[in-house]
Amino acid sequence: MNFFGHVAVARGWSHDSTVLFGAMLPDFVGMVGAASPRVAHPGIALGLELHLATDDHFHRSPVFRALTRESARVLVARGLRRGPALAAGHVGVELLVDCALGRDPEVAADFLAAVTAGAPARLAGAVTWTSPGEEARYARLHAQLVERGLAVVDPEPARITDRVLRVLARRPRLAVPEVAREAVTAAFASAAGPVAGAVPELLARLREELSPAFGPAGRAASAASLARGAGGP
């Protein structure tokens, strides 16, 4: 699941923007090639816990696996080798999930608030990077997120293909050849509807599976923790 999707899941337990930022933070760490920073804010820490648990359940979800298998099957039928087809299907479905979630104005608003909560100036004392270089790279990424806003969930199949090809280009065995761009775009266009239709069930199952750890008792404990850390970003 991508950072936008993590906001959609985490808001099932909290609308606090620091929690929602924390739910995105591990993805941002990977995007800037950083080591895990030290987190000293309870809301961000709760978001981190939600992120890790969500990823674990999401990638094992029968709904997600069925969607990626079907996407890979279509891509193989359109000429891709099995490895790139599986990788492109996985990444593409995740992006299509984001696009479906981005249609909800409340999720979109919470995402933008979470990005604001992650402004470098607001993280002083709450998130400590392991080097000035990592901090600088995160600052550049944050500026890009602010500039792009909701464009991070652009639903155009061609844009999704651009992102998939760019991500997989770093892994030669899984890279999608440029000559397959049109076929991949067509596959994502046909998959958009089925993925959007499966998102409510996907979210419902995720929240059900996460409830034992983050259910009512956990929410009460988190609320008390957040109250103690109210002086954070």
pLDDT tens digits, 21-47 = 999 999 999 999 999 999 999 999 999
Say which residues have a Cβ less than 8 Å from residue 161's Cβ, sequence separation at least 6.
92, 181, 184, 185, 188
> Is 203 part of any domain?
yes
> Is 11 part of any domain?
yes
Domain of residue 208 covers 3-228
> Is 159 part of any domain?
yes
> Is 143 part of any domain?
yes
pLDDT tens digits, 64-88 = 999 999 999 999 999 999 999 999 9
> Is 233 part of any domain?
no
109: enclosing H helix or E strand: helix 105-117
Count: domains in the chain: 1
pLDDT value of position 216: 54
pLDDT tens digits, 150-192 = 999 999 999 999 999 999 998 999 999 999 999 999 999 999 9
Average pLDDT, the chain: 91
> Is 213 part of any domain?
yes
8 Å CB contact between 119 and 142: yes
77: helix, strand or coil: helix
> Is 212 part of any domain?
yes
